[in-house]
Amino acid sequence: MNLENKLKEYFGFDQFREGQKEVIEKVMDGKSVAAIFPTGAGKSLCYQLPSQLLEHMTLVVSPLLSLMKDQLDFLKSHNIKAARLDSSLSKEEYTKILEEARLGKLKVLMISVERFKNERFRSHLKRMKISMLVVDEAHCISEWGHNFRPEYLNIPSYKKQFDIPQVLLLTATATTEVALDMCAKLDVAKSDIINTGFYRKNLNLSVVKLINKNKNETLFNLLKSSIDAPTIVYVTLQKTAENVASYLESMGVNVSHYHAGLKTEQREQIQNRFMGDSLHCIVATIAFGMGIDKGNIRRVIHYDLPKSLESYSQEIGRAGRDGLNSDCYLLACKDSINILENFIYGDTPDKKSIETLLDKIQNYEQKLLEIKTYDLVKELNIRNLPLKTLLVYLGIDHLISPKYTYFEDYTYKYLVEKEQILNLFDDRRKSFIKNIFDNSLHKKIWSTIDMNAISQNSGDTRDKVITALEYLNEKSLIELQSKSAVEVYEILSKDFDVIKQSEKIYQLFVEKQDSGIKKIHDLLAFFEGSDCLSIKLASYFSQEIELKKCGHCSVCENGAISFSITKLLKSIDEYDFNDLTLEIITNLQEQKSVSMIVKFLCGLESPLFTKIKAKKLQYFGILESYSVKDVEKKVLEIWS
């Protein structure tokens, strides 16, 4: 097979970029492969071309809808049958996509990893023929990656359950440790890891000395020489995004802020304006950027420190995708270090919460543990992501094993008269479907299915009933709705000491926390060093370069720069902690603890804070710029 001819036929390209052909050849040989390419270097083509050459459908798992959208638009523009499943689809669109996938009419189907646990989707997936599973942003699989996603650890199990023959792992930001970890989890041989390196000669990396320690003035000076050049400015906090954007707007910059606190419609509108060049500058938290495929971004500026070198490399990788020179500036300022560290501390759950969950497992009467995540988040006072990580840790220790997610409630309404539906089937199927209808609680329009009654009356399994309901829904005979997701785990062992096991798992969180803190300080040392930034960054991602200096980074041009502190904090001893803590202690009542008070003062999120509306209290986040450890010492003093 001449791959160059196929590349031209399907996509109109005359030649492959570095590494692409090598990856595709391995995929076509039936191997599982990992492709570690710089951001914007064409990772997606490594599955897009094989998807047209392999016999069956390619299933793509992505952590973000915007990643799917850009890739889907590209495929459709080349007349390739591709689709994505997400919550934005209408019932008709969702049903049509599933039917096309099942009938083999789709070549690419894109989903989030959470979709694998969806009971309704699983019933369809079992009937689909899949040639390859693609994991986009595959570093999410590794606990040592910079944005580890606990759900990704279940991907090897899904590959096995649905009998998918090979995988392709795609990422731009994997150190040697992360690459080996993610490949080991999915049986990718070391010889089948293709790493083209990180170095991009068109990116000028610069650490910028602050002017009179004024960050806003320094930022504007970077913009004003080419004020309309497409630019992303990254900040840590949502309110910083708003304040900086407001300042730049007052200076005549065509700018908008962007963060997760905005409504979905607002975020989409801002992103579309930026992509369409009617908006020149975005001041954003890291909520913006992943999946943004805009070729002419000329500047990426870090107003605040990124949280790791991996995050930094991913964010600057959005600049200069068209191959033209682009500037990546980082303001030499230490102000945000405590805030970054505090976010990491905020992801470590209290040991007592871990004990509560382990005690629940040990005393659970059934073999299958059913969890409503929303309820458990509130019960344990652990945010959603740390809770998912906790459940993964319990799985790693073989205490529980994830099975599936089902919906507690299935409701339907007739789109065709009941008798008309029944008359479409032979006697055996008619009796089966009638049993479903008869064992439903009927209201004026919607009917709720009683799965237990169906099983007791006929012995029909839940899977069989759901398959039938999905069929009726696909044929527009009924409209089916499902809600109240319940995650099911098998309890593998109750033979453990709750206190000892809690301590063990807590220490895993502490190790993860310490690793995150270390990444921040490694990043600071990296930028304050005297070696070439470009070469040193490439080396961090295991790329060997013959050059000793790139000649176009700030260290090569002007030497190292020391970082400043622009925001002088008053001594923490000057605060009256009795006054600061009185209101939150009153609101927490019996749930008060040192940990909760510290989180409140440092402005860290907590499910309990949502319940008591802590953000509306006077002193929420008043000490966000101070170290959690220092705040904790002061709180302990008033409690001792």
- Judge if 15 and 141 occupy the same domain: yes
**Residue 33's pLDDT band (boundaries 50, 70, 90)?**
very high
Q: Considering the domain boundaries, does residue 356 fall inside one?
A: no
**Residue 199's pLDDT band (boundaries 50, 70, 90)?**
confident
Q: Which of 160, 195, 230 is the last residue of a domain?
A: 195
pLDDT recorded at residue 164 = 96
Residue 427: CATH number of its domain = 3.30.70
Q: Considering the domain boundaries, does residue 576 fall inside one?
A: yes
**Residue 178's pLDDT band (boundaries 50, 70, 90)?**
confident
- Judge if 187 and 210 occupy the same domain: no
Q: Considering the domain boundaries, does residue 376 fall inside one?
A: no
In the predicted structure, residue 600 carries a pLDDT above the cut 90: yes
pLDDT recorded at residue 261 = 87
Contact 281, 213 (CB under 8 A): no
* Alpha-carbon distances, residue 50 vs 14, 21, 54 (angstroms): 17, 11, 6
The residue segments making up the domain with residue 418 are 406-489
In the predicted structure, residue 147 carries a pLDDT above the cut 70: no
**Residue 572's pLDDT band (boundaries 50, 70, 90)?**
very high
Strand order in the sheet with 33-36: 82-84, 108-111, 57-61, 130-135, 166-171, 33-36, 193-195
Q: Considering the domain boundaries, does residue 35 fall inside one?
A: yes
Beta-strand pair 447-449/130-135 = unpaired
Pick the range with the lowest mean pLDDT from 46-60, 290-304, 486-500, 550-564.
Answer: 290-304
pLDDT recorded at residue 144 = 66
The residue-averaged pLDDT of 408-416 equals: 89
* Of 289, 188, 274, residue with least CA distance to 235: 289
In the predicted structure, residue 491 carries a pLDDT above the cut 80: yes
pLDDT recorded at residue 291 = 60
Structure tokens at 499: 């206190």
The pLDDT tens digits for 357-397 are 999 999 999 999 999 888 999 999 999 889 988 998 898 88
Q: How many residues does the chain have?
A: 640
CA pair distance 305, 446, nearest whole angstrom: 53
Q: Considering the domain boundaries, does residue 365 fall inside one?
A: no
- Judge if 427 and 314 occupy the same domain: no
The residue-averaged pLDDT of 145-152 equals: 72
- Judge if 31 and 176 occupy the same domain: yes
Name the E strands within 332-436: 368-371, 400-414
pLDDT recorded at residue 407 = 82
- Judge if 291 and 153 occupy the same domain: no
- Judge if 189 and 123 occupy the same domain: yes
102 three-state secondary structure: helix
Q: How many domains does the chain have?
A: 4
pLDDT recorded at residue 66 = 60
- Judge if 70 and 114 occupy the same domain: yes
Q: Considering the domain boundaries, does residue 399 fall inside one?
A: no
- Judge if 544 and 630 occupy the same domain: no
Contact 256, 266 (CB under 8 A): no
Q: Considering the domain boundaries, does residue 295 fall inside one?
A: yes
Q: What count of other Cβ atoms lies within 10 Å of the Cβ of residue 190?
A: 10
- Judge if 593 and 550 occupy the same domain: no
Kindly report the pTM of this predicted structure.
0.78
In the predicted structure, residue 544 carries a pLDDT above the cut 80: no
> What proportion of the chain, given as a percentage, has pLDDT over 70?
98
Residue 290: CATH number of its domain = 3.40.50.300
pLDDT recorded at residue 146 = 59
* Of 588, 592, 597, residue with least CA distance to 623: 597
The residue-averaged pLDDT of 262-291 equals: 87
Contact 113, 63 (CB under 8 A): yes
- Judge if 184 and 211 occupy the same domain: no
Pick the range with the lowest mean pLDDT from 72-76, 433-437, 493-497.
Answer: 72-76
Average pLDDT, the chain: 90
- Judge if 8 and 157 occupy the same domain: yes
- Judge if 32 and 169 occupy the same domain: yes
pLDDT recorded at residue 65 = 63
pLDDT recorded at residue 67 = 63
Q: Considering the domain boundaries, does residue 245 fall inside one?
A: yes
Contact 445, 454 (CB under 8 A): no
